[in-house]
Amino acid sequence: MPKKQRFGMVSKGEAERAYHAWVAAYLGDDSERLWAFTGKNGAQRTTKDQLAANVATAPGSILHIASGLIRYEEGRVRAEPGNRVAGTISPQVAADRKKDIKDFLAFLNHRHGDGAVGRLRLADLTLLDVEAYNQYLVAKRFSVNTVGHKMQVVKRIVDRAGRQEYGEQELSWNWDSVDRSPGRAPKQKQLPTLEQLKKLHNKADARGRAMIWMGIGLGFGQGDLAAIRVDDIDEQGYDLRRSKTGIDRYGATPPGVWRAIKVYLDENPRPRGSALFVTRNGKPLVHTRSDSVLQWWNRLRTSIGETKETLDGFYILRHLGATEFGSREGCSISDMKRWLGHSASSSMADVYMRPVSPEHREIIEAVRKRLTGNGEDPQFP
């Protein structure tokens, strides 16, 4: 936002123009332009603020519209943790959308020349520009969902151009006539083998084991592990509202999960009301773009000799647990919805609520024995 600390005590119009020029340096130019060769000492680092002073931004330009969209999205960010409120978004979603806007602006600058987004208006955006961006995303091997999200950002910039402050601009062509190409299809999730799970369990410390079995037994992802507090779970059950969806998550705590949590708490006592897990520095596990669970998982995976090609990310434990839970006798759609923490469709039932396939039977039976057993499990001591 334009602030006097950056732009001085100037008029609102001057501050707005200075702000959009500043945004241009952050979003509209390739990183190579941040280097300049000056003086006798050779290469000198040029700051983004210095570069912004030379960037011209026309009112109503695509950059002007995009920076306004960023400010709007940042104004909708809700405090975390907290319940989801209609019209708000999480800091992670805001950061992702800002990145999507930046990618589109960078593409236009590459296509039309440095600083183009600061002078191009909506009427200058052609059907070929949009289709070329779509093809660029496909060529980058982005998934169907990622391509869809990035193209939605382009449409939001187009729609926002119709606002009065941008001159009520309109496209000269029909958006629905864009030829769209999907991204790559998501690859089928490959569940870990029993041998891989044993190695993960044995290599992890008490904290890591608790997170592993909460991922399997409760379906918790990184955000859930960051949100759950000491008072939210005990030997009898757990109760956690997912701020992402607003759907109640509750149920009985599997004995195997509580056993892992109990060992962790005995070694690492946590005060009542505090987060169950924090980083080594006492920070939240996940905030904005920082994900310490992902970093821990990558190190653990490497330590047992696996790679991302042979063993998926931490979220694969949620898929493993959902496969076990969905294959239980009498499991219903409502049970699956509560366990997952979001609405379970018929397609979700097709994925999880069916008999276990032969290739997964060994690990599902071992996981079920661990989760439901009250004593020590020789496979996962």
Span 273-331, pLDDT tens digits: 899 999 888 888 887 667 899 999 999 999 999 998 999 999 999 999 989 998 888 88
Q: What is the mean pLDDT of the chain?
A: 82
Q: Return the closest-CA partner of residue 31 out of 112, 93, 92, 102.
A: 102
Place of tokens 């501050």: 15
pTM: predicted TM-score of the whole model, two decimal places? 0.67
What DSSP line would sit under 134-150, residue for residue? HHHHHHTT-BHHHHHHH
Q: Return the closest-CA partner of residue 89 out of 67, 103, 72.
A: 72
* Sign of the CA dihedral with 299 first, then 103, 243, and 354 last: negative
Span 235-253, pLDDT tens digits: 999 987 654 445 567 889 9
* Sign of the CA dihedral with 280 first, then 250, 322, and 144 last: negative
Specify the pLDDT at position 282. Answer: 84
Specify the pLDDT at position 340. Answer: 81
Q: How far is CA 356 from CA 160, 267, 329, 362, in A?
A: 49, 36, 11, 10
Specify the pLDDT at position 24. Answer: 63
Counting as low any pLDDT under 70, the low residues of the chain are 1-10, 14, 16-56, 80-84, 186, 241-248, 288-289, 342-351
Query: What are the phi and psi torsion angles at 153 (to 5°)?
Result: -65, -40
